[in-house]
Amino acid sequence: MKQAVLRAAQPLEAAAMAQIQEQFKDFLGEDVSFDVVVEPSLIGGYVALIDGKLYDMSVAAQLAEIRKSYGKELVREMTGSAPKMAEPGAFGSTLREHMKGFAFQPKVEDYGTVNSIMDDVVQISGLAGSHYGELLAFEGEHYGLALDLREDGVGAVMLSGADEITTGSFVHGTGHVADICVGDTLLGRIINPIGQPMDGRELKVNGFRPVECPAPSIMDRSPVNRPLETGLLAIDSMIPIGRGQRELIIGDRQTGKTSIALAAMINQRDENTYCVYCAIGQKGSTVAQVADTLRKSGALERTVIVAATADDRASLQYLAPYAGCAIAEDFMHRGRDVLIVYDDLSRHAQAYRSMSLLLRRPSGREAYPGDVFYLHSRLLERAAKLCDEKGGGSITALPIVETMAGDISAYIPTNVISITDGQIYLESELFNAGVRPALNVGLSVSRVGRSAQHKAMKAVSGSLRLDLAQYRDTAIFAQFGADIDENTRQLLARGECLTQLLKQRQDDVLTLSQQVAVLVAFEENLFGGIPIKQVADARSGLLAFLTENCAGTMHAIDISGELRAIDREMLVAYAKKYIDSRHLRRSADQ
């Protein structure tokens, strides 16, 4: 005789119990003995739990099925123009008409039992048919994510209601993975990884998309050959980023990694590009500051912020980048260009490590689980430039990774470096010296290269990286006070000038024509002789002068992306006119 549990809406009489036992004997072919548990929330009927199977014959399940089958149609019917003229009782007759064809089929599904719960990680016996990443439904309408599959049970992490789950609670699979709301209604909003608004406003949902999706195939992709301009002269000229590229931003804490990402997002406010910012393990105040910065710059209305703060459970921090990527994919598959920032994947890996240790998985290097590489590769591979047949949209990913004492050979940094198409390495010494962005040109690289750069920028930035690298190497030896020849002196002066020209605030983004104009003036040595402390002001003044007096040429460069010979002559002529009229040239000794 099988021993099972029967959850009923009210105490059952002996005759009713005998009838239920007889029904299951005919169905299963053997006698069943039930332990009855009264649950008024079932409204009526019962739920039988037998050998890992759940047989739901409750009234609550029937009502849920009715709402699912007819709810939207009835609501649409009763809120249209007809109800204004409908007679009393029309809704009841409509409902009865729909109910004539309704036949309830009892739900039969696998179920499990909670054995233990610790720090949001639940060990479950049963559910042998669960899939990795499947959404599990707990009692009280709480949900978890199956991340550890065993022969005798499942290990899951709670997404909500961890404090209300107790040992012995029943769990059943939903048959689908976690999903996130998507659509244009998310623009300008702050949500958490399960789609709940965090900005205090109501959220209207247009649709949903699974947080885990396969990356686009090779045949669905097209070459990365269109630039995504960050507005930062140092990046766009030396480390160009293409639409569909994955460019890592890496460096120690407080070296301006987020500032570069924000500058790139701000620069998209006038482009046909949407942005998604994923805050993983950040302080709530930091997320608020990011939102405020984007709002003041006018970029928030084209941005979706997905935030799992440091106070949130590890499961939400784990889910955040996948949720953000799903939102970006919805835009991409509708033919849009998207820039997504993961800030940062170091905390993401740490959250996954804490969950894996609680799930009792074997640990490897630095206590990370063996699949930590797959954790980030399956995320970043979803960034792509789709072919025209697939809509031509793109996702450009800017993952951020934090290093310790500049060690880029640590486990997580090397993993992400091997996945991405290049890295922007920020150095603490340069940052502390006032060089912003603190770009180390020797360790920074873009594997897409100049194929994702405008012709105008190619024409004026060819030797820029080499000039800067030579200057920084030479400056190290010059610090020792050794005698230097005239050529070296000129190299140092030119390098100091270039360093000042490349300094830029995050909200001071430059258009293509402005960047080209600065580099043309530098190539012509028009900033030579200007005191170093005045170079930044001279650059700002020159750009304002060109915008006012050479607007046609500047506009032509922005529209065409090319630098014609006549355009270059015009830029040089007006730049000389500005510098000479302001008497900016001085002796270097003054």
CA distance 442 to 424: 10
Alpha-carbon distances, residue 385 vs 49, 307, 458 (angstroms): 49, 25, 22
Amino acid at 231: G
Pick the closest to residue 524 from 557, 497, 554, 546 (CA basis).
Answer: 497
How many whole angstroms from its chain centre is CA 517?
34
Tell me the residue type at 245.
Q
Residues 206 and 185 sit within 8 Å (Cβ to Cβ): yes
Question: Taking the alpha carbons of 9, 12, 16, 22 in that order, is the dihedral positive or negative?
Answer: positive
User: What DSSP state is assigned to residue 454?
Assistant: -
- 182-212+225-453 to CATH, choices 3.30.230.80, 3.40.640.10, 3.40.50.300, 3.40.50.1370: 3.40.50.300
Give SS3 for 569. Answer: helix
Strand 142-149 relative to strand 32-38: parallel, antiparallel, unpaired? Answer: unpaired
What confidence score (pLDDT) does residue 222 get? 96
Distance CA 313, CA 322 (A): 16
* Distance separating alpha carbons of residues 579 and 517, to the nearest angstrom: 13
Token pair in block for residue 63: 């009502």
Please give the CATH topology (third level) of the domain spanning 460-581. Lysin (1.20.150)
pLDDT band for position 154 (cuts 50, 70, 90): very high
Say what the pLDDT of residue 421 is. 94
State the greatest distance between any 2 C-alpha atoms of the chain, in Å, as a whole number.
Answer: 108
Q: CB burial class (10 A; 0-12, 13-18, 19+) of residue 383?
A: buried
Structure tokens at 480: 């020792």
**Cα(91)–Cα(432) distance, integer angstroms:** 71
Residue 480 pLDDT greater than 80, yes or no:
no
- Residue 103 — pLDDT band, cuts 50, 70, 90? low
Distance between CA 77 and CA 374 in Å, rounded?
A: 49
pLDDT at 96 over 70: no
DSSP at 13: P
Provide mean pLDDT across the span 90-95: 50
Q: What is the pLDDT of residues 191-203, one digit of tens each?
A: 999 999 999 899 9
Instruction: Please give the Cα distance from 529 to 4 (Å, whole number).
Output: 90
447 catalytic residue (yes or no): yes
pTM: 0.86
With tokens 């039988």, the residue in question is: 48
For domain 2-179, which CATH number applies: 2.40.30.20, 3.40.50.700, 3.40.50.720, 3.40.50.150?
2.40.30.20
The pLDDT-based confidence of 396 (bands split at 50, 70, 90) is very high
Does the pLDDT value for residue 567 go beyond 80? Answer: yes
Q: What is the mean pLDDT of residues 153-165?
A: 89
CA-closest candidate to residue 517, choices 579, 453, 462, 568: 568
Q: Quick one: pLDDT band at residue 517, thresholds 50, 70, 90?
A: very high
Backbone angles phi, psi at 333, to 5 degrees: -70, -10
Mean of pLDDT values over 405-433:
95
- Structure-token pair, residue 226: 């269109």
Distance separating alpha carbons of residues 209 and 328, to the nearest angstrom: 10
What is the model's pLDDT at position 53?
78
Task: Give the CB-side neighbour count of residue 48, counting CA atoms within 13 A.
Answer: 21
What pLDDT band is residue 572 in, cutting at 50, 70 and 90?
very high
Place 68 in a pLDDT band, splitting at 50, 70 and 90: low
**Hey, what are 100's tokens?**
């004539």
Residue 21 and residue 34 in contact, taking contact as beta carbons nearer than 8 Å: yes
Tokens of 65: 């099925």
Close Cβ partners of 521 (under 8 Å, ≥ 6 residues apart): 527, 542, 571, 572, 575
| pLDDT for residue 34 | 85
* Residue 394 confidence (pLDDT): 97
Give the model's pLDDT for residue 6. Answer: 82
Can you tell me the distance from the alpha carbon of 292 to that of 312, in angstroms, rounded to the nearest whole number? 21
pLDDT in tens, 226-274: 999 999 999 999 999 999 999 999 999 999 999 999 999 999 988 889 9
Give residue limits of the domains in the chain.
Answer: 2-179, 182-212+225-453, 460-581
Peptide bond before residue 437 is cis, with ω within 30 degrees of 0? yes
* Conformational region of residue 568, where left means phi above 0, alpha means psi within -120 to 50, and beta covers everything else: alpha
Question: Same topology for domains 2-179 and 460-581, yes or no?
Answer: no
Inter-residue contact 520 to 235 (CB < 8 Å)? no
Q: How far apart are the first and last CA of the chain?
A: 102
pLDDT tens digits, residue range 363-381? 999 999 999 999 999 999 9
User: For residue 188, which of 286, 281, 269, 271 has the smallest C-alpha distance?
Assistant: 269
Render 386-397 in DSSP notation, one character per residue: B-GGGT--EEEE
Identify the residue whose tokens are 């039992």: 113
> In whole angstroms, what is the distance from residue 369 CA to residue 15 CA?
55
CA distance to 49, 74, 171, 223, per residue, from 68 (Å) = 24, 11, 21, 44
**Catalytic residue (choose from 360, 447, 505, 586):** 447
C-alpha to C-alpha distance for 261 and 230, rounded to whole angstroms: 8
Q: Given its phi and psi angles, is residue 405 left (phi above 0), alpha (psi -120 to 50 degrees) or beta?
A: left
How does pLDDT run across 9-54, given as a tens digit for each residue?
888 888 888 888 888 887 777 888 888 888 887 888 888 887 777 7
Output DSSP code: residue 447.
S
> DSSP label at 281?
S
> What proportion of the chain, given as a percentage, has pLDDT over 90?
61
The structure tokens listed for 126 are: 């049963």
